[in-house]
Amino acid sequence: MPTFKIAIVGAGPAGYFTAQAFQNAQTEELTFAIDMIERLPTPWGLVRSGVAPDHPKIKTVSKVFEKIAKVPNFRLFANVELGKDVSLKDLRDQYDAVVLSTGASKGRKLGIPGEELANSLSAADFVPWYNAHPDYVNTEVDLSCDTAVVIGAGNVAMDVARILAIDPTELDPTDVAEHALVKLKQSNIRTVIICGRRGPEHAAFTAPELRDLPKLENTDVYIDVKQVKDATERANIGGEIEKDLKHNLEAMKLIAEHAKKGVNRKLEIKFLSTPIEIKGNKKVEEVEFTINKIEAGKVLPTKDTFTIKTRLVITAIGYDAVEYPGITIENGRINNIAGHIEHNVYTTGWAKRGPTGVIGTNKSDSSDVVDLIIENLKEPKVSEGITTLLKSGHEVIDQLAWEKINASEVISGEIAGKPRVKEVDWKRLISLGRS
Ligand code: NAP
């Protein structure tokens, strides 16, 4: 009975769903030994460091990950970095297939003047900061002004804006980073403005996330009702309107028309606004926008501009995959054809297809790539796998060590009335795993 050795790099949703697809494909004649390699001392990727703390339901997918990890053919090697602790070439030589599920963690740039000013941040730095990612504890976040601007009309922009706009006591029962909660409680921000460059009909928000906005207890949410009405008229030209778009526009209409509470926290979504310059002396002072119009389905700039006075700008305009020696990136994702990179190296998730789709999208996507890998498998290699590759004394966080970290965080959470209290210090995480 041949057992093929599979290395999956990246312990996020794409990595786990890749492992699950291999587990589901096992038969009496075909088995797999799966080693999951992760740079951080903790697994779960964006479920831990991306999903907003006030959306705990989305995080329950971690139960599926833990089930996958309990299958005897699965081993976790966290605290192991590709390119530093193991090379791609070594993995290729030792494993029958290597799958890079390394995500897309580099925030895209606007490419406008002033983007490098202090207090102009990428969501790629801000989101892991409030989610207790060990590498982002020291992100400089200045919440001293009363207005923040978030650029982009996608779900990440919405997460970022909501975290800034809600009453921080609403985050008390969540697993938000302790350092972020302290800072958010001192925040002077009372108005958050999301700016999308195109119309409401082009927004990348999804309807369930939009529908949650009017339910915010301590924040009034505004969208210009005329912008939504015009967008709906434009969308209706040419017959039947596509279902997701219809739901989005209905949800936006609901936001625009729902009775406001008269509270002092405000979240506004502004469309047809392209940022052209971030101005300030060393630090952000204002953002200038061009006002756009839509003609014959095209978004066009007008001569009109407006500025928003602010000392905090966060761009949430998508992500690019990170590079590794031997891997090329094109259009923000690893160069691949249907998940195949070269030889026995493959990719799944955001690294493969770019930063699109929700967590569940990775399930079918990974399954397709695993089918392709299985088709291409020949004779299993005789090799030792990762254990011969790591330097002696290298401290691996395996599944047992991770379970100790997990239990410790959950216990701290129980005491504090939260799902968990995340440890942010890399060394302390490792020592928790050792304890
Ligand atoms: P996204 O959905 O692709 O949205 C990116 C936004 O940035 C778009 O509105 C885009 O506008 C805008 N943008 C891009 N370049 C720009 C520029 N140069 N100037 C101004 N605006 C620009 O990306 P995301 O928000 O990072 O989300 C990534 C994925 O994660 C999405 O699939 C999202 O649904 C998912 N996600 C889901 C949840 C959830 O389910 N709760 C939460 C977070 C993220 P254009 O359309 O005009 O290009």
Centre of ligand 1 to C-alpha 346, Å, is 25
pLDDT of residue 293: 97
Reported confidence tier of residue 265, pLDDT bands at 50, 70, 90: very high
Ligand 1 pocket mutation pick from 155, 290, 359 by most atoms within 8 angstroms of CB: 155
Reported confidence tier of residue 74, pLDDT bands at 50, 70, 90: very high
Q: What does pLDDT average to over the chain?
A: 96
Ligand 1 pocket mutation pick from 47, 126, 156 by most atoms within 8 angstroms of CB: 156
pLDDT of residue 38: 98
Closest CA to 403 of 429, 366, 377, 369: 429
364, 367, 368, 373: CA torsion to nearest 10: 160
Closest ligand 1 atom to residue 152 Cα is 7
The protein residue with its alpha carbon nearest to ligand 1, atom 38, reads: 155
371, 373, 374, 378: CA torsion to nearest 10: 160
Centre of ligand 1 to C-alpha 431, Å, is 37
Q: CB under 6 Å to ligand 1: residues?
A: 55, 110, 151-157, 159, 196-198, 202, 204, 206, 209, 316-318, 355-358
- Per residue in 412-435, pLDDT (tens digit) is 999 999 999 999 999 999 999 998
Centre of ligand 1 to C-alpha 155, Å, is 6
Ligand 1 pocket mutation pick from 317, 350, 356, 358 by most atoms within 8 angstroms of CB: 317
Q: How many residues does the chain have?
A: 435
Centre of ligand 1 to C-alpha 87, Å, is 32
**14 and 103 in contact (C-beta within 8 Å)?**
yes
Please compute the mean of the pLDDT values over residues 175-200 and round it to a whole number.
Answer: 98
- Per residue in 174-183, pLDDT (tens digit) is 999 999 999 9
Centre of ligand 1 to C-alpha 357, Å, is 10
Centre of ligand 1 to C-alpha 318, Å, is 5
Please compute the mean of the pLDDT values over residues 250-255 and round it to a whole number.
Answer: 97
pLDDT of residue 325: 84
pLDDT of residue 147: 98
Cα four-point dihedral sign 61, 321, 366, 15: negative
Reported confidence tier of residue 385, pLDDT bands at 50, 70, 90: confident
Closest CA to 124 of 116, 133, 115: 133
The protein residue with its alpha carbon nearest to ligand 1, atom 42, reads: 155
Reported confidence tier of residue 122, pLDDT bands at 50, 70, 90: very high
Reported confidence tier of residue 237, pLDDT bands at 50, 70, 90: confident
- Prediction pTM value: 0.97
Reported confidence tier of residue 362, pLDDT bands at 50, 70, 90: very high
**64 and 18 in contact (C-beta within 8 Å)?**
no
Q: Answer whether residue 136 shows pLDDT above 90.
A: yes
The protein residue with its alpha carbon nearest to ligand 1, atom 21, reads: 152
Centre of ligand 1 to C-alpha 60, Å, is 23
Ligand 1 pocket mutation pick from 197, 292, 362 by most atoms within 8 angstroms of CB: 197
The protein residue with its alpha carbon nearest to ligand 1, atom 2, reads: 154
pLDDT of residue 165: 98
Radius of gyration, CA atoms only, the chain: 23
Q: Write out the two tokens for 22.
A: 């291999």
pLDDT of residue 301: 98
Reported confidence tier of residue 324, pLDDT bands at 50, 70, 90: confident
Q: Answer whether residue 40 shows pLDDT above 80.
A: yes
Q: Answer whether residue 326 shows pLDDT above 90.
A: no
Please compute the mean of the pLDDT values over residues 11-30 and round it to a whole number.
Answer: 97
**196 and 152 in contact (C-beta within 8 Å)?**
yes
Query: Percentage of the chain with pLDDT > 90?
Result: 94
The protein residue with its alpha carbon nearest to ligand 1, atom 16, reads: 317
Q: Answer whether residue 238 shows pLDDT above 80.
A: no
Please compute the mean of the pLDDT values over residues 284-297 and round it to a whole number.
Answer: 96
Q: Answer whether residue 406 shows pLDDT above 80.
A: yes
Closest ligand 1 atom to residue 156 Cα is 25
Please compute the mean of the pLDDT values over residues 80-95 and round it to a whole number.
Answer: 95
Reported confidence tier of residue 387, pLDDT bands at 50, 70, 90: confident
Reported confidence tier of residue 2, pLDDT bands at 50, 70, 90: confident
Degrees (nearest 5) of the Cα angle 76, 77, 79? 130
- Per residue in 304-320, pLDDT (tens digit) is 999 999 999 999 999 99
